[in-house]
Amino acid sequence: MLSSSVLGNASVATRRDEVYVAAVALRATKGPAQLLMSTAYSLNFWDLQHFMVIINPTSSSQALVYDFQPQDPESIAVAVAALSGRKVEGVVRTRTLKKLPTRKCWFAGYSESDAINAANKFNQGWETDLRINHHDCRNYVNGLVEYLTGTKAVLEHLRSSSVGKS
């Protein structure tokens, strides 16, 4: 979406990429652990979901997903370390989507600049040691959404609103 404003005789185009927050089931090893994570997601247990940011750029038909997770999210050793409060090696991932998810995906706002360049800049400075409840996907989503849109604590707002309960 392009909007223009007139400043004197010059017309200035403003880029307004859409920014979304989405939730998916946490990844786990196959078997009972994976079944537990899928069930927790289906029952909407907020603390047992993985959160990510989706940028829907005005310049492309494909959305981009940005998330932060353990480097090996299906490793039992990593899960035990993470759940015990120890740091584990994390990774910031970026991938494309053909369309936005239809469930558990919420509009967070419009970017204040080119969202893709801004997200890449944000990611360059993101510390990749992951620590559950201190420096995890929630902190990443809150930080990236604030960097892109100016909206603070987006996940806390979603959680407390009826929007985050769907």
Domain ranges (residues) in the chain:
18-164
Rounded-to-integer distance, Cα 109 and Cα 141, Å:
13
Burial of 32 (0-12, 13-18, 19+ CB in 10 A): exposed
Angle between the 137-149 and 115-124 helix axes, to the nearest 10 degrees? Answer: 130
Integer Cα distance of 24 and 50 in angstroms: 5
Say how many C-beta atoms besides its own lie within 10 A of residue 66's C-beta: 24
Confidence band of 28 (pLDDT split at 50, 70, 90)? low
User: Does 115 have pLDDT greater than 50?
Assistant: yes
Tell me if 51 sits within 8 A of 138, measured CB to CB: yes
Mean pLDDT of 125-140: 93
- pLDDT value for 127: 97
Query: For the residues 49-62, what does the mean pLDDT come to?
Result: 90
CA dist 74 to 15, 26, 27, 61, 101, Å?
38, 9, 6, 31, 23
Q: In this model, does residue 111 exceed pLDDT 80? A: yes
Q: For residues 62 and 59, what is the distance between their CA atoms, to the nearest angstrom?
A: 9
- Cα–Cα distances in Å, from 160 out to 25, 43, 154, 156, 165? 20, 17, 10, 6, 8
Distances (CA, A) of 126 to 76, 106, 143, 147: 25, 23, 10, 12
Backbone angles phi, psi at 89, to 5 degrees: -70, 125
With a cut of 80, say whether residue 130 has pLDDT above it: yes
Q: Is 129 helix (H, G, I), strand (E, B) or coil?
A: strand
Looking at residues 137-145, what average pLDDT do you find?
Answer: 97
What's phi and psi for 101, nearest 5 deg?
Answer: -60, 150
Report pTM.
0.80
